[in-house]
Amino acid sequence: SRLSAGKDGGTSLYRGLLARGVARPLAEEVVSDMYSHDDEVRHARRLAAGLSRSAAIRRLAGRGFRSRAIAAVIREIPGTNREPQAD
C-alpha cells in the first residue's frame, strides 16, 4: 500500500482518497489517524537522505509531504541552521 511504502506524504494520501470519492472529513480523519506526524517525518528523512536542502524540499513537496514534516527534516540537514552568525 502507499502508506506502508512511505513514499508519499500525508497531503498526497489525502488527495488520493479524495480522488477515489472519499468525503473530505473522512479523508482527513483517516490520514490523521493512520499517518502520524512522526511517521511522516520518519519517511521524509529517508527520502531526503543525502540531498541538499533545496533538493530535499523539492522532492518532499513533490511527494505530497506536509510543510510541518518538510520543515522538521530541513532543520536537521547540516548547514541549514537559521541562527545568525556570530562575528
80 secondary structure, DSSP code: -
DSSP 2-53: HHHHT-S-HHHHHHHHHHTT--HHHHHHHHHHHS-HHHHHHHHHHHHTT--H
Residue in this structure with the C-alpha cell 548547514, named with its chain if needed: 79
**pLDDT digit string (tens) for 66-84?**
999 999 999 988 765 555 4
Overall size of the chain counted in residues = 87
Report d(CA 28, CA 33) in Å as an integer. Answer: 8
- The grid cell for 13 is 494520501
**pLDDT digit string (tens) for 14-65?**
899 999 999 999 999 988 888 888 989 999 999 999 899 999 999 999 999 9
Tell me what pLDDT residue 87 has.
46
The pTM score is 0.73
